[in-house]
Structure 1
Amino acid sequence: MSGPVTGPAAPRIGVVGAGIVGLAVARRLAQLRPDARITVVDKEADVAVHQTGRNSGVVHAGLYYPPGSLKARLCTRGRALLREFCAEHGLVHDECGKLVVARHAGELPALAEIERRATANGVPGLRRLPGNALREVEPEAAGVAALHSPHTAIVDFRAVARAIAGELRSQGHEVRLGFEVTGVRREPGGGVVLRSGEADLAVDRLVVCAGLQADRVSRLAGDAAGPAIVPFRGEYLRLVPERRWLVRGLIYPVPDPRYPFLGVHFTRRVDGGVDIGPNAVLALAREGYRWRDVRLGELARTLTWPGTRPLVRRHWRTGLAEVHGSVSRRAFVAAARAFVPALTDGDVERAPAGVRAQAVDRDGTLVDDFRIHRLGSVVTVRNAPSPAATSALAIGEYVADRVLAGDAD
């Protein structure tokens, strides 16, 4: 990556979004320009309230992503940076390992494709296991074959975000909470003014990492209408404490290649808990963590986005199946039991849900790779789904270089 940028004027740089990606961008900017005045703004009262604080906690090793894609490159770089960061800050980084399990012979070709991608992406320690051997890793798991990624890890991403925010504050930068961006004015000389209520914040350069609000804030800053964020709620169940022994680490299905979602899986948490999920159901609000969380204006904007109709037309059967799993705990558990047959309905309880900010193009395509735009003094992160948390410190490098050097996308 490029070294520090020098110049006569200390830039004022604003970052919208205090999730882990926005904070990582700010951290890298502070490293490259120690003289800069960096202000991270967020509408919430704490950092990492939404996607960062509600994700699975998995540090992905890079199994799934097309070699050469931004996801593949930044995940590989990001996982190494994150491991170093956790070691430096005394944060838990537990390499509990992951199995991707093929339930039947029909899934073996897709498993082989994942193995090909993972090998090309340099996933360390990867092993192909037959059905009897996979139970040496996960005794309660069932399948005909699996890929074992022993160095896939888990962390507390909210703790990582708070540590980055603490670093920034200790260096004299500002993490300004309770600042909801309601307007953005581009100045003729290249500067940008952010408006929140009656308060203004003037900066020379701006980065938008607004997660669930990414398209809204990006449009305010002059970016294109698309892709639009379509929010998908991911619901979880959790193993009751006395049944946590059923799962040692992480157990994943072979994902459906038509979707950027990985399917219902078992995830061990750093506190010892084990979550099952997530599914993927259309959320009725950008921050709609429950069925009763409805914002009619936001729902109307989702439904009227040109890409929503072709999206629904192509995938309505899958959507109905996801809704069934959402309203029926028995159906949800049955899907998970395909991988851990000993699981029963009584082994689980409800756990907090998350919402994924999924970018959808005008033609209804679910955007898979990271998508980052540059418009003069403004850089917008328009799509940063999983593995964005794993990749965050590498995304910070990638975005900061473009902010400071003006590299073309």
Structure 2
Amino acid sequence: MTDIETLIIGAGAVGLATARALALSGREVMVLERHSLIGSETSARNSEVIHAGIYYPTGSVKARLCVDGKHQLYEFCVDNGVGHERIGKLIVAAHDAQLDELRKIKQKAAENGVRDLVFVDRDELREREPALNCSGALWSPSTGIIDSHAFMLALQGGLEASGGQVVLNTNVTSIEAELSGGYRVHIETEDGETYTLTCRELIVSAGHGAPGLMQAFPEAMPPKAYLAKGNYFKLQGKAPFSTLIYPVPEPGGLGVHLTLDLQHQARFGPDVEWVEEFDYVVDPARGDRFYGAIRSYWPDLPDGSLVPDYSGIRPKIAGPGEPAADFRIEGPQSHGLHGLVALYGVESPGLTASLAIAEEVKVRLN
């Protein structure tokens, strides 16, 4: 007999979506979260963009779950009153030499099942976005923005309505398999008390912490963890754009792009800063390099108009100079551990894909 049927470590968007899906399937579910708030790491420190699924390698888990998750997410937002806007985005070629890259991006998107991209020429762009300077663009109408915290609260509400619960201020220090089946989870509370919980099923959705926790199971071959900080800068004043603006991707990232929140306040970022420890302070000096990148498509960006906003740290499982890693969602079919699913490297588009990831976990658990 175990204390709980299904334990989930981590109350980010993916952990909560998974908990809700499993509770709706009839399981007794508890989510353990080490912070005092749900979704206070990766899930709360991002661009809050609903991604279309354009850039990811064809056939990858990221591509498939992003496209599936996007449709599920829009439907969820409507059904649950979560703030969102299907605002769209322009992927812009700063000069004629990049126009061929737009064609390649459109082809890649189509291979991923995203077939709504439309070429927009310079003249039409001049009418739609007069402040934008570019040779042409791709219009992505299914890209959107979302209130990520409201989304996670709705997930928590759905979980609790199905009998599940979230326990905050509870740090999982280690996990181990029970000889009789199931798992033993060692936890420490905020006041330093230590406890042990047993469960029949265990979902390790701990973001940055997942590889470390899974070291308890060498047969699972957990990956090495890396920390990639992304800094955002806020625009002082109103942005002259009505949609999201992304440059043609650069090697290693999507370039410095402009996103809007639901109040249409503009922010730029994120960049990539490899770090060794958690530090969310944004160095104002990093903003200096943003100006040149942004002026490639918005030449009238005023001097001194960017101020530090916030940062996030991506839970990477590929290091500097290595190809971007796919999501790793590994169940008994991968590692042979019955009732255990571990998730690694769930960075962007994890928020967009979260509902689809939850269904994937359910499939791999059964």
Question: Fold-level match, TM-score > 0.5?
Answer: yes
1:25 and 1:284 mapped to 2: Cα distance?
29
Match of 2:273 among 273, 278, 281: 281
2:223 and 2:132 mapped to 1: Cα distance?
39
User: Share of identical aligned residues, percent?
Assistant: 35
| Contact 2:287/2:307, CA 8 A, preserved across alignment | no
Task: Give structure 1 regions of 4+ aligned residues with deviation exceeding 6 angstroms.
Answer: none
Partner of 1:84: 75
2:117 and 2:104 mapped to 1: Cα distance?
13
| Contact 1:124/1:151, CA 8 A, preserved across alignment | no
Spell out, residue by residue over 1:107-163, the C-alpha distance to the aligned partner (whole angstroms, 9 max, x if none). Answer: 233222210011223325311122222233322111112110122110011211111
CA distance 1:128–1:356, shift in 2 (3 Å): same
| Contact 2:83/2:150, CA 8 A, preserved across alignment | no
1:223 and 1:336 mapped to 2: Cα distance?
46
| Contact 1:97/1:149, CA 8 A, preserved across alignment | yes
Partner of 2:15: 22
Bigger shift: residues 95-104 or 215-224 = 215-224
Partner of 2:167: 176
Partner of 1:31: 24
| Contact 1:51/1:355, CA 8 A, preserved across alignment | yes
Spell out, residue by residue over 1:31-64, the C-alpha distance to the aligned partner (whole angstroms, 9 max, x if none). Answer: 22x1x21111111001010111111010011111
Q: CA deviation at 1:225?
A: 5.3
The question of 1:125 aligning with 2:125 is answered no
2:245 and 2:54 mapped to 1: Cα distance?
14
RMSD: 2.1
CA distance 1:15–1:352, shift in 2 (3 Å): same
Match of 1:48 among 39, 57, 65: 39
- Unaligned runs of 5+ residues in structure 2 are 189-193
Residue aligned with 2:317, SS: strand
The question of 1:101 aligning with 2:71 is answered no
CA distance 1:190–1:107, shift in 2 (3 Å): farther
Residue aligned with 1:181, SS: strand
The question of 1:234 aligning with 2:230 is answered yes
The question of 1:164 aligning with 2:159 is answered no
CA distance 1:160–1:222, shift in 2 (3 Å): farther
Q: CA deviation at 1:170?
A: 2.4
Partner of 2:322: 365
Match of 1:191 among 162, 177, 182: 182
The question of 1:388 aligning with 2:350 is answered yes
Q: CA deviation at 1:364?
A: 6.5
Bigger shift: residues 221-230 or 115-124 = 221-230
1:247 and 1:55 mapped to 2: Cα distance?
20
Partner of 1:202: 198
| Contact 2:94/2:135, CA 8 A, preserved across alignment | yes
Partner of 1:309: none
Residue aligned with 1:346, SS: coil
Which residue identity lines up with residue 48 of structure 2 in the other structure?
G
Bigger shift: residues 329-338 or 180-189 = 329-338
Spell out, residue by residue over 1:174-214, the C-alpha distance to the aligned partner (whole angstroms, 9 max, x if none). Answer: 11111111111211122111111311121111111111212
Partner of 1:353: 311
1:327 and 1:384 mapped to 2: Cα distance?
29
1:237 and 1:291 mapped to 2: Cα distance?
9
2:71 and 2:195 mapped to 1: Cα distance?
39
Partner of 1:321: none
Count matched residues.
355
Q: CA deviation at 1:349?
A: 1.9
1:196 and 1:206 mapped to 2: Cα distance?
14
Partner of 2:191: none
Match of 2:107 among 88, 105, 116: 116
